[in-house]
Amino acid sequence: MSIPYKLAVLVFIENARGEQLLIRRAKAPNLGAWSPVGGKLETASGESPYECAIRETREETGFEITTADLHLFCMIAEKSYEGSGHWLMFLFRCKKPIPALPPDIDEGKFGFFTRAAMDDIYIPETDRAALWPIFDNHRDRFVTLRVDCDPAKPLSVETEEII
């Protein structure tokens, strides 16, 4: 059976205190979960992952950034996320601190969290098992991962390359 493949970005943004900006998603996927800012590439217009990261950051937070403010630190190929689709995701670290908590939007509400506080909030299991450890260990480098999210099997995370 063929399932759709989606292209997306996540942007890891911090404030000046080093706390992570997360949005509690009001829509699927990840309804009710806290996650970094991000969204799908507009493939019909030929949008690049960097353009998407800049657009999604502006649309969701109002924070204006440029390509120079971003560092691409990870590319993840997720198979069968929630059993409904494959994702190719580009993860960016924003090098420019966000000055304040953005106002709530239709997509969800925002909060700042220390990494320790994230142990006590609802985060998707794939984020807890793969995204945040990769951010912690490789945010200044580049890594590629393959994640098998098939709900009928245990979560499998494989590192393909680290630069």
14-70 per-position pLDDT tens digit: 999 999 999 999 988 789 999 999 999 998 999 999 999 999 999 999 999 999 999
Structural domain containing residue 51: 5-162
Question: What CA–CA distance (Å, rounded) separates 128 from 107?
Answer: 21
CATH number of the domain residue 157 falls in: 3.90.79.10
- Is the pTM above the cut of 0.95? no
| Residue given tokens 């909030």 in the structure block | 121
Secondary structure of residue 148 in the 3-state scheme: strand
Percent helix, percent strand, percent coil in the chain, to nearest 5: 25, 40, 40
Distance CA 44, CA 123 (A): 31
Count the helices and strands in the chain (H runs, E runs): 3, 9
Domain count, the chain: 1
